[in-house]
Structure 1
Amino acid sequence: MPTHPFFQVNVFSTDPLLGNPLAVVLDAEDLDEARMAAFARWTNLSETTFISAPRDPRADYRVRIFTTLGELPFAGHPTLGSCHAWLARGGVAKGAEIVQECGIGLVRIRRSDTGLAFDAPPLRRDGALAPDLRARVLAGLGVAMDDVLDAQWVDNGPPWLAVRLRSRAAVLAVRPDYAALEGLMLGVFAACREGDAVDAQFETRAFIAGEAAPEDPVTGSLNAGIARWLLRDGEAPARYVISQGTVLGRAGRVVVERDGDALWIGGTCVTCIEGSVRI
């Protein structure tokens, strides 16, 4: 049975136990899709990634991203965690930035003062939810109508939709009915107020109904989609910090920074486990 370099990485927190874990398998050229999917189910993490040589000559490496349910064309914390593992194993970028090849194409990654940051992909779908879907989402979340400010698509690979609530307290109080939300990937978020006593400007939660762990601790792709919404509408500064994972006992921090036409989503990555795995 082949042996592969293996990392387990904590993403979006300086504390190795308070972010979002990611399993990374390197030198994965010999693994087929079925084996990757089986290993991702076995790890039982929100995502497991597999790094191999790029097919596009502009890229530094190729990554495939699997949840316990199937493959994603893109995801945020797997992008940063995979890049961290690739660099830790001696990867050297062809240029000033690292270029990742994945299901949505090429993604730029840069080193930042918070660790690593990816250039958020454009939204594939945005705008208001259809009335019947909006009603289903709000009922499944169990939120009071007075607490809901808006709901929109923020699909940037994963088919996220997001609900903006009136307060951080309303976000933390959500208790989803996952059966009612089956098949949906959705986030809730709100701006933080001075009295919230948190070192962030927004609080986010992410729910993936049907996953083994249906609440994701810290989510780069969702926050990237929300950032495009907020910045488009002038509802956020050019640089801000998001808190996520509070209800789960985590302390995730996602840094959003608009730089010209680029929207960078960053955070800290920490290696927790390094070794090899037989698949």
Structure 2
Amino acid sequence: MQRRFRQLDVFATGPYSGNPLAVVVDGDGLSTDEMQRFANWTNLSETTFVLPPTDPTADYRVRIFTTTWELPFAGHPTLGTCAAWLEAGGQPNDTDTIVQECGIGLVTIRRDGEHLAFAAPDLIRSGPVDDELRARVERTLATDVVDVAWADNGPGWVVAELASADDVLALEPDFDGTLDLKLGVVGRAGGSVDHDVEVRAFFPGPASMEEDPVTGSLNASIAQWLMARDPELTSYVARQGTALGRDGRVRLERDQDGVIWVGGRVTTSVTGTVEIERPELSAVRP
């Protein structure tokens, strides 16, 4: 069975400058193993599968896979999947917002011109880390940190703030097996630039990638952390991907109701169909 397929560039500032995402628009009927196998084959940081919602208030349901495991939530897959669903003819129940169902529950997405933005989900773990973990983070980053905290909205983020954006870009972390956490790092930029902070996201371990180009879930959790510390901070722009040759931008904004919106541009790079075969069928094909 052929299924509609798109590959999108999320949080991009120009051609192929953001974080790529593969989306199987017609995911219904695929098993978890089939989804995981296809996600492993695409070899992107995430691949998503669009399904009918189980919650009547949702417009669609999504399952999100890395090359090796399933995620309950991720940011750039949320925006990319929403864009793919809309391009494929999806009609939201509300003209102004789209409601996505995923592993952590319902996530609201809004359209703002050429940008999409999702409402940052609540943190499931927050607060300062213990002294031992802080020391491990500092040892891994090989630099002093301003602060370290839990800021986990699903993937398991620990976030560290450095003194400046330049310090973030200079990092050459040593993940020698002593730190198995997903680690986000942020530093404030200065001067006349088009962004306020520099962000990097590290995924140590056996996965095929160690650093993510542009990470919506991390930027959401960092914004919640920074804005909780500074009530006067209501909006800023994060740059991410610089160290990998990308040029992503993420817009963070807290509205009057206290909701933090995480947004950016989404463009479609590839449109077509894919054939996702069952192993027992492909094995007997000549």
- Does the CA contact (< 8 Å) of 1:114 and 1:266 recur in 2? no
Q: 2:275 and 2:167 mapped to 1: Cα distance?
A: 45
Classify 1:63/1:10 alpha carbon distance in 2 versus 1 (closer, same or farther; 3 Å).
Answer: same
The 5 Å alignment of 1:183-194 reads 183-194=180-191
Q: CA deviation at 1:215?
A: 0.5
Q: Does 1:277 align with 2:237?
A: no
Q: CA deviation at 1:270?
A: 0.4
Q: Give the structure-2-normalised TM-score.
A: 0.92
Q: CA deviation at 1:181?
A: 5.3
Q: Does 1:252 align with 2:248?
A: yes
- Does the CA contact (< 8 Å) of 2:50 and 2:60 recur in 1? yes
Q: 2:231 and 2:238 mapped to 1: Cα distance?
A: 14
Deviations 1:191-217 (A, max 9, x none): 1111xx531011100001122121000
Q: 2:41 and 2:104 mapped to 1: Cα distance?
A: 25
Q: Which moved more, 1:69-78 or 1:226-235?
A: 226-235
Classify 1:16/1:202 alpha carbon distance in 2 versus 1 (closer, same or farther; 3 Å).
Answer: same
The size of the alignment, in residue pairs, is 273
Give the residue type in structure 1 aligned to 2:201: A
**Deviant stretches of 4+, over 4 Å:** none
Match of 1:161 in 2: 158
- Does the CA contact (< 8 Å) of 1:24 and 1:48 recur in 2? yes
Q: 1:248 and 1:236 mapped to 2: Cα distance?
A: 32
Give the residue type in structure 2 aligned to 1:128: P
Q: Which moved more, 1:184-193 or 1:127-136?
A: 127-136
Classify 1:30/1:168 alpha carbon distance in 2 versus 1 (closer, same or farther; 3 Å).
Answer: same
- Does the CA contact (< 8 Å) of 2:2 and 2:274 recur in 1? yes
Match of 2:261 in 1: 264
Match of 1:134 in 2: 134
Match of 2:123 in 1: 123
Give the residue type in structure 1 aligned to 2:140: G
What is the Cα-based RMSD across aligned positions, in Å?
A: 1.3
Classify 1:185/1:174 alpha carbon distance in 2 versus 1 (closer, same or farther; 3 Å).
Answer: same
- Does the CA contact (< 8 Å) of 1:14 and 1:269 recur in 2? no
Match of 1:94 in 2: 93
Give the residue type in structure 2 aligned to 1:258: R
Match of 2:194 in 1: 199
Q: Which moved more, 1:101-110 or 1:15-24?
A: 15-24
Q: 1:170 and 1:69 mapped to 2: Cα distance?
A: 31
Counting aligned pairs with the same residue, the percent is 53
The 3-state SS of whatever aligns with 2:146 is strand
- Does the CA contact (< 8 Å) of 1:16 and 1:271 recur in 2? no
Q: 1:45 and 1:182 mapped to 2: Cα distance?
A: 23
Give the structure with higher Rg (CA): 2
Give the residue type in structure 1 aligned to 2:43: N
Q: 1:235 and 1:23 mapped to 2: Cα distance?
A: 37
Match of 2:76 in 1: 77
- Does the CA contact (< 8 Å) of 2:159 and 2:222 recur in 1? yes
Gaps of 5+ in 1: none
Deviations 1:132-152 (A, max 9, x none): 222222212222x2xx10000
- Does the CA contact (< 8 Å) of 2:240 and 2:249 recur in 1? yes
